[in-house]
Amino acid sequence: MFQNPKKIFFLALLIRLLVAPWFYHPDLKSQHFHFQFLAQNHLNIYSYISQNKSHLPYTDTFNYLPLTYFTFGSVQSLLSPLMPSGFLSWINDWSTAQYVHPNLPIFLLILKIPYLILDLALGYLLFKLFPTRPFFKIWLLCPLTLYLIYLLGNFDILPSFLTLLSLYFISKNKLIISGLVFGLAVSLKLYPLMFLPFIILYLLPKIRSTIIFSLFLLLPLFVSIVPFAASPDFWQSFLGSGLTQKLLELKIFTIPVFPVLYLLILLLGRRLSLYSQISLVGLLFFSTVRFHPQWLLWFLPFFIITFSSNHLSRFLIGIFITTFFGYVFLINDQFLTWGHLLPINPLFLSLRMPSDIVRLRLHQDPAIIQIYFKYFMTAVSALLIFIRLKSRAPHNS
| pLDDT for res 305 | 96
Tell me which of 234, 256, 277 is where a domain ends. Answer: 234
Same domain, 141 and 252: no
Same domain, 342 and 273: yes
Same domain, 259 and 204: no
Mean pLDDT of all residues in the chain?
93
| pLDDT for res 38 | 97
Handedness of CA 38, 43, 44, 47 (dihedral sign): negative
10 Å Cβ neighbour count for 197? 15
Same domain, 264 and 395: yes
pLDDT tens, per residue, the chain with 397 residues? 557 888 999 999 999 999 999 999 999 999 999 999 999 999 999 999 999 988 999 989 898 999 999 999 999 999 999 999 999 999 999 998 899 999 999 999 999 999 999 999 999 999 999 999 999 999 999 999 999 999 999 999 999 999 999 999 999 999 999 999 999 999 999 999 999 999 999 998 889 999 999 999 999 999 999 999 999 999 888 776 667 778 878 888 888 899 999 999 999 998 899 999 999 999 999 999 989 999 999 999 999 999 998 899 999 999 999 999 999 999 999 999 999 999 999 999 999 999 999 999 999 999 999 999 999 999 999 999 999 998 755 444 4
Handedness of CA 141, 142, 147, 149 (dihedral sign): negative
Same domain, 7 and 141: yes
Same domain, 22 and 148: yes
Closest CA to 64 of 30, 91, 24: 30
Considering its fold, how many domains does the chain have in total? 3
| pLDDT for res 397 | 41
| pLDDT for res 254 | 86
Same domain, 134 and 69: yes
Same domain, 280 and 389: yes
| Identity of the residue numbered 103 | N
Tell me which of 128, 152, 176 is where a domain ends. Answer: 152
Same domain, 144 and 1: yes
Read off the pTM.
0.94
Same domain, 336 and 372: yes
Same domain, 307 and 390: yes
- Residue 285 phi, psi (nearest 5): -60, -50
10 Å Cβ neighbour count for 149? 26
Owning domain of residue 198: 156-234
Per-residue b or e along 225-261, where b marks 16 or more CB atoms closer than 10 Å to that residue's CB: eeebeebebbeebbeebebeebbeeeeeeeeebbeeb
Same domain, 277 and 308: yes
Tell me which of 112, 127, 152 is where a domain ends. Answer: 152
